[in-house]
Amino acid sequence: MEKNRFIQIIHQRKYKNLISGLVKKNTYCLDIGFGYGYLKPLVESLGANYLGIDPRNDGAVEYAKKYYGKKGFIHGYFPEANPLTKKELHDGVIISLTTLDEVTDQNSFLKEINKLCSESTKVYIAVRNSDWVFFRKKRLKTIDGDEINDYGLEEYKKKFNENGFDILRIDKSSRPILTSFTYNGLKSLIIVLIDKILSTERSYMLGFLLKIKN
């Protein structure tokens, strides 16, 4: 788990600009699938209220509570474990990073998020992109061994539209070099370097800034 202290710095630098552009003071940020809790200190530094939900049993939840405090983290599934209401998320933001692609019923997941949104609520969802050069159709695992849904940019655009969201912005990003090396060593590092050369239009990650349709 100690390597996560190094990964923390990388992730927080990566998410700092994203968070500062979405989070408003005295509002709520709902983080669905908080992982190791890296977003919490960033959100709170902007004067917003943080609440994270995550069902994992691999030590991530315990890590988050150890380093960032027990308050604000809920071990459970969304939407069942979510205590926040649509009223509380007015002017707030709902964030889900690399969680949707691991959800079996994505439509139900998105509909539950939609129920929590007012016109002033922003939603930011990041997913792994199956159009990435090292993903293969019908291959249901990443190079890390994580199971994913086999969708790319166009499939996700259609899915968000069908579940009542307008897309305000699409972000594309490659796999972080230092993160890849720390997790998986030289093999992963080589793959990422090739990815950066050959796959600029087929990014590893896709980020969607959404709002509900009028």
Residues 37 and 68 sit within 8 Å (Cβ to Cβ): yes
- For residue 147, what is the domain's CATH number? 3.40.50.150
Sign of CA dihedral 132, 134, 140, 142: negative
Q: Please, which residues have CB within 8 angstroms of residue 193's CB and are 6 or more apart in sequence? A: 177
Whether residue 188 is contained in a domain is answered as: no
Between 191 and 165, the more confident residue is: 165
Whether residue 196 is contained in a domain is answered as: no
Confidence of residue 2 (pLDDT cuts 50, 70, 90): very low
DSSP string, 81-146: T----TTTTTT-EEEEES-GGG-S-HHHHHHHHHHT--TT-EEEEEEE-TTSTT--TT--B-TTS-
Whether residue 195 is contained in a domain is answered as: no
Task: Determine the structural domain holding residue 45 and report its residue range.
Answer: 3-174+201-212
Whether residue 50 is contained in a domain is answered as: yes
pLDDT of residue 143 exceeding 50, the answer is no
Taking the alpha carbons at both ends of the chain, their separation in whole angstroms is 44
Domains: count for the chain: 1
The torsion angles phi and psi of 64, rounded to 5 degrees, stand at -60, -45
pTM for the full model?
Answer: 0.82
Whether residue 181 is contained in a domain is answered as: no
pLDDT of residue 177 exceeding 50, the answer is no
| Ramachandran bin of 121, using left for φ above 0, alpha for ψ from -120 to 50, beta for the remaining angles | beta
Whether residue 33 is contained in a domain is answered as: yes
